[in-house]
Amino acid sequence: MEKAVFIALDYDREEDAQNLLMKLGSADKTYLKIGMELFYHSGSHFVKQLVEQGYHIFLDLKLHDIPNTVYRAAKQLAQLGVFCITIHALGGSEMIMAAKKGLVAGTPKGMKPPKLLAVTELTSISDAILRNEQNCSLSMTKQVVSLAQTAKKAGADGVICSPLEVTSLQKIIGTDFLYVTPGIRLANNQNGDQKRVATPKQAKDYGASAIVVGRPITTATDPASVYQIIKKEFN
């Protein structure tokens, strides 16, 4: 996997996403993340359309349900030809294995199954929330490592985690695993609702496999220029 920079299309209308795409470069060199907001509005037809145009799609729906339901959902999503999908590691090993089987079963012949990425702790979760609301006695790093170990043993291809945790994860889990990190901001950006953030260069130094960037690109006056700056800094 190349050092991809996924642009988070956090829009509630397909038209807004299309307006941004018109300002960016060629489809085959552009990586996009589609989350629940846009997917629930525009559906799978929009995702399939983007795949057919050559975009690399990270479909971030964070599946989390009983194993049989997740298997059937993953089987459907695999037919879209997306690059990767997400599930919650907190769903447990049986659910993760079911998702992996669903992706393999649903992938059309001649194509590679989407990568399965497990969400550890969301970057909006602070140590205080982990301790006081999730009632977890582990530190954030130990909790993320534990969830990542479960995900890898269950067949996931990588995890979604904060860039701040990548170094610790690589030491314990290894470098033969994908570490995809949201919470990326340029030095002059505000953090917004993200608690655990890093710059593209810091994410690179920590060892991130790929990064996800939303508002620093989507709200920029010249999003194409900012996208190139971030890609250059990360690579």
Task: Report the C-alpha gap between 107 and 140 in whole angstroms.
Answer: 35
Q: How far apart are CA 142 and CA 5, in angstroms?
A: 27
With a cut of 90, say whether residue 211 has pLDDT above it: yes
Number of C-beta neighbours around residue 173 at 10 A: 18
Beta bridge pairs of residue 60: 35
- Whether residue 189 is predicted with pLDDT greater than 70 in this model: the reply is no
185 annotated ligand-binding residue: yes
Establish whether 176 is a catalytic residue: no
- Does the annotation list 189 as a binding residue? no
Q: Residue 201 to residues 109, 184, 232: CA-CA distances in angstroms?
A: 38, 10, 9
Residue 87's closest CA among 78, 47, 172, 79?
78
Taking 50 as the threshold, does the pLDDT of residue 193 lie above it? no
Question: Of 219, 143, 209, whose CA–CA distance to 185 is shortest?
Answer: 219
**147 annotated ligand-binding residue:** no
pLDDT at residue 65, rounded to an integer: 98
Maximum CA extent, the chain:
48
Domains held by the chain: number: 1
| pLDDT, average across residues 154-176 | 93
66 carries a ligand binding annotation: yes
45 is in an annotated binding site: no
pTM above 0.85, yes or no: yes
Q: In the annotation, is 60 catalytic?
A: yes
Average pLDDT over residues 204-222: 94
Q: What is the mean pLDDT of the chain?
A: 92
Determine which one of 65, 127, 195, 201 is catalytic: 65
To the question of whether residue 141 is assigned a binding role by annotation, the answer is no
Give residue 161's pLDDT.
Answer: 87
Q: Nearest 10 degrees: CA dihedral of 163, 169, 175, 176? A: -110
Query: How far apart are alpha carbons 150 and 175 in whole angstroms?
Result: 16
Question: Is 23 considered catalytic here?
Answer: no
Q: What is the extent of the structural domain holding 92? A: 4-234
What CATH code is carried by the domain that includes residue 193? 3.20.20.70
pLDDT at residue 99 above 60?
A: yes
Of the candidates 3, 48, 62, 142, the residue annotated as catalytic is: 62
> Is 88 annotated for ligand binding?
no
Q: Is the pLDDT of residue 180 over 70?
A: yes
